[in-house]
Amino acid sequence: MKTKRMVLAMLVVLGLVALAAAQGTASGSGFQLSTPTQRKAPPAPKTAEEGTAYQAIVANPDLAAAETASKDFEAKFAQSELRGPIYQNLMYRYQQSNNADKTVEMGRKALQFDGENPMVLVTVASVISERTRETDLDRDQRLAEAMKDAQHALDGMESWLNTAPGITDQQAQGVKPLLSSFAHASMGMVEMVRKNPAEAEKHYRVSVELNTTRPDPVTLLRLALALDQQKKYADAFPFANRAVELSATTGGMVAEQAKQEQARLSQLTGQKPPVPTTAPPPKP
């Protein structure tokens, strides 16, 4: 299944908004968002040299070169507030280039400087849970890390978002249910790999309930599969139908697998899938 979802893309955008505040401060541009007084100030360089070095890294289109420069930056500016934002920026960029291993590596580095950042915690948990297989020698260790990160994000999310720099109260409230939804989806995936469909069901249900703005067909399909594995076929069928409906416009592997699960559950329950709704043709 695809590991890049629309929901995660929204979180990346918000994360980059926060990083933009740091970038604006580093460049001396005065970029600011309207934020309450209780929010922390965006991380800022202590010297012009530090700010210039930061700008060069985030603007470098060569990811490998930017990573090397980040390590040099970390060594040269050992007390810099911008070390975490640099690695968070790299994490998002590696994620966008579909490099899972580097995404996790950069996320772990970012957490060394801000271990409470729920955007980084959820991203790392998501990628690890998606990319861990039953045959991996370090399977249990990886799954434990993903579960720990997701739970940590949930536990500290409200406190972090209430004081986070670079975002508004409105943005914080908007992203909270999405982050929480994605954390639970990651935990559900961990339990599926562990072959605990009942526990996976619990997390997937919470994930679906929290994400009402951009329902995710992948999570809906996985909830159907978790129910299917428990032989709760009638309960699973509506979620499979919804996954088919939402993935119809994008196609791909998710749409194909959703249709297969829908057909299986239709046969097992004797229920017919809903008739697809066709949008009316545009007026001339």
Report how far residue 99's alpha carbon sits from residue 120's, in angstroms, rounded to the nearest whole number.
15
The identity of residue 101, as a single letter, is D
How far is the C-alpha of 243 from the C-alpha of 217, rounded, in Å?
Answer: 4
pLDDT at 29: 38
Mean pLDDT in the chain? 87
pLDDT per position as a tens digit, 1-54: 444 444 454 455 445 444 444 445 554 433 333 344 478 888 899 999 999 999
Tens of pLDDT, residue by residue over 205-238, are 999 999 988 899 999 999 999 999 999 999 999 9
Spans of all domains in the chain:
6-24+38-207, 215-271
Superfamily of the domain at 6-24+38-207: Tetratricopeptide repeat domain (1.25.40.10)
If you average pLDDT over residues 130-156, what whole number do you get?
96
- Residue 188 tokens, joined: 């559900």
Residues 6+ away with beta carbon under 8 Å from 274:
241, 245
The answer to whether the beta carbons of residues 189 and 171 sit under 8 Å apart is no
pLDDT-derived band at 171, boundaries 50, 70, 90: confident
Q: pTM value?
A: 0.86
Query: Quick count: other Cβ atoms within 10 Å of Cβ 128?
Result: 26
Rounded to 10°, the helix 6-27/48-59 angle is 150
- pLDDT tens profile 115-128: 999 999 999 999 99
